[in-house]
């Protein structure tokens, strides 16, 4: 399997001075996807920004994993609603433009 777009969880943890169990906990709560190749854990590079944001919430704001899960869920819902609002505004503007 190609690992070009994967980041070693162990290297990430070493660089950020955290335990590998932190990434495992995030995976258990469904906050990140972890791929295991030859007994080594990796995550996709596309998740890097999300994991670093979670790490800041955990360390800087002292929010536990359960709290981070709730915050992530609410942020995802908010983004979904924002997308829906944008779609509805676009549809509405089509009707308003046709009335003129």
SS3 sequence of the chain: CCCCCEEEHHHHHHHHCCCHHHHHHHHHCCCCCCEEECCEEEEEHHHHHHHHHHHHHHHHCCCCHHHHHHHHHHHHHHHHHHHHHHHHHHHHHHHHHHHC
Residue 63 is predicted with a pLDDT of: 95
Does residue 99 have a pLDDT over 70? no
**4-26 pLDDT tens trace:** 789 999 999 999 999 999 999 99
Q: How many folded domains does the chain comprise? A: 1
Total-model pTM = 0.75
Asked if the structure places residue 27 within a domain, the reply is yes
**81-93 pLDDT tens trace:** 999 999 999 999 9
Give residue 94's domain range: 6-99
Asked if the structure places residue 1 within a domain, the reply is no
């Amino acid at each position: 399997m190609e690992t070009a777009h994967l980041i070693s969880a162990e290297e990430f943890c070493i660089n950020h001075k955290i335990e590998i169990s932190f990434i495992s906990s995030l995976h258990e709560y469904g906050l990140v996807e972890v791929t295991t190749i030859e007994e080594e854990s990796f995550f996709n590079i596309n998740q890097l920004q999300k994991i670093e944001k979670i790490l800041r919430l955990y360390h800087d704001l002292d929010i536990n994993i359960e709290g981070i899960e709730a915050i992530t869920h609410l942020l995802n819902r908010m983004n979904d609603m924002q997308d829906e609002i944008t779609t509805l505004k676009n549809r509405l503007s089509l009707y308003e433009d046709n009335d003129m």
